[in-house]
Structure 1
Amino acid sequence: MIDLHVLPFFLATVLIMVAIPGPTTIYISTTSASQGFRFGLASCFGVMLATLVHVSFAAAGLTALLLASPWLFSAIKLLGAGYLVYLGVKVIRSKPPASGTTAAPQSQSRALGETIKKGFLVNLLNPKTGLFIAAFLPQFVTPSLGHVPLQIVTLGLLLVLVGGVSDTTYAALARTVGRALANRSKKPGIGKYIAGLLYMGLGVAALATSNGTSK
């Protein structure tokens, strides 16, 4: 059980934080704008699953390993940045679907599953997410109530829920903007180059940042 007197302050803080787009929000929005709202939702779901893993690590105290081991932090950050750059190159090199063709249900389901996996890995391989959660959630824990790990998990679930609503909203807006730009663009397929460059930019930005705590 969490302290209900603290809950309004926690939710207000989370609402302010999720309103400011971070790397994962940009990733979700880019995916939605370039591939469609369903794919944006799929990437959002993957990100949420990874956040739950980070919350579990924080509750179990495993995130402390990142704080105690700079080389482990750097290794995970390098993997995450490299994965984003890889996704960017893959998107740029991909062939756009032929005009007027519709993907088979099985093929589309597989593609959505791949998108969920990508969103999961992008967030899981971002050590700053784990450090942020480990630093933020305990600020709203009341030790006198006991069951500290359970309090962290409960607060983490609320964080994931609010973040999911925010990311879904961003995905919907991004899809609307992406469709409008695609209709105005005289160069078909330019969206994949924009998306690919954004992914690579996120990877370079992640590699350049230090051990901060941001979403």
Structure 2
Amino acid sequence: MINFNLLPYFLATVTVLVAIPGPTTVYISTASASQGFRFGVASCFGVMLATLVHVSLAAAGLTALLLASPFLFSAIKLLGAAYLVYLGIKAIRSKPAPSDTTSVSVPPAPALGESIKKGFLVNLLNPKTGLFIAAFLPQFVTPSLGHVPLQIVTLGLLLVLVGAVSDVTYAALARTISRALANRSRRPGIGKYVAGLLYMGLGVAALATSNGATK
């Protein structure tokens, strides 16, 4: 069982940290703005699943092994950056539907699963998420209470829930702003270029940054 005396401090810290936009936040907001709110939520779900994987690895001690290998860390980071750039190129090359006059065409319902997969891979291939979890969660673990892995998992679940609320809020705001801008835009299909450039910008930023942890 976790230390409930530390829980308020943990929740307060997490709330502040997840509210600061990071790569996954921008990714979810972009998906919501360019495809629709439900696709942003689907991307958020994929991000949550990947975070749970990172939490599980931290609880099992595997994240420490990953961080101990600079080569493996760099390889995963490179894969994540390349995937973001790929999503950007794919978004720009997509063809808008005939009725589209403002943004990327809305994918069919089955694409929701694709959004979940993309969100999962974007976060899974971000080793900084594992670094952050491995460094942050143990600060609120009380070894004297025993069951340290269970404490880490419990704190990780709380982190995922708070992060989900934050990301869904960003997705809703992004969609609202996107619609407002779309109503003023006269250039057909401009949304896909904005989305594509954002994705590629995230990929370049992921390659350019080597220190710190981002959500």
Common topology (TM > 0.5): yes
What are the within-5 Å matches in structure 2 for residues 27-176 of structure 1?
27-99=27-99, 108-176=108-176
Secondary structure in structure 1 of the residue aligned to 2:210 = coil
TM value normalised by structure 2: 0.95
Secondary structure in structure 2 of the residue aligned to 1:187 = coil
- Point out where structure 1 has 5 or more consecutive residues left out of the alignment: 101-106
Aligned-partner Cα distance in 2 for 1:123–1:67: 16
Cα pair 1:55 1:153 within 8 Å, conserved: yes
Shift of 1:110: 1.6
Give percent identity, aligned residues only: 84
Aligned-residue CA RMSD (Å): 1.0
Equivalent pairs counted in the alignment come to 209
Aligned-partner Cα distance in 2 for 1:211–1:147: 31
- Point out where structure 2 has 5 or more consecutive residues left out of the alignment: 101-106
User: Corresponding residue for 1:179?
Assistant: 179
State the AA in 2 paired with 1:29: S
Aligned-partner Cα distance in 2 for 1:163–1:70: 28
Cα pair 1:182 1:188 within 8 Å, conserved: no
Shift of 1:188: 1.4
Shift of 1:214: 2.3
Shift of 1:54: 0.4
What are the within-5 Å matches in structure 2 for residues 201-212 of structure 1?
201-212=201-212
Aligned-partner Cα distance in 2 for 1:181–1:97: 19
State the AA in 1 paired with 2:12: A
Greater alpha carbon shift after TM alignment, 89-98 vs 194-203: 89-98
TM value normalised by structure 1: 0.95
Q: Find runs of 4+ consecutive structure 1 residues off by over 2 angstroms.
A: 211-214
Aligned-partner Cα distance in 2 for 1:110–1:211: 37
Cα pair 1:80 1:126 within 8 Å, conserved: yes
Cα pair 1:55 1:156 within 8 Å, conserved: yes
User: Corresponding residue for 2:5?
Assistant: 5
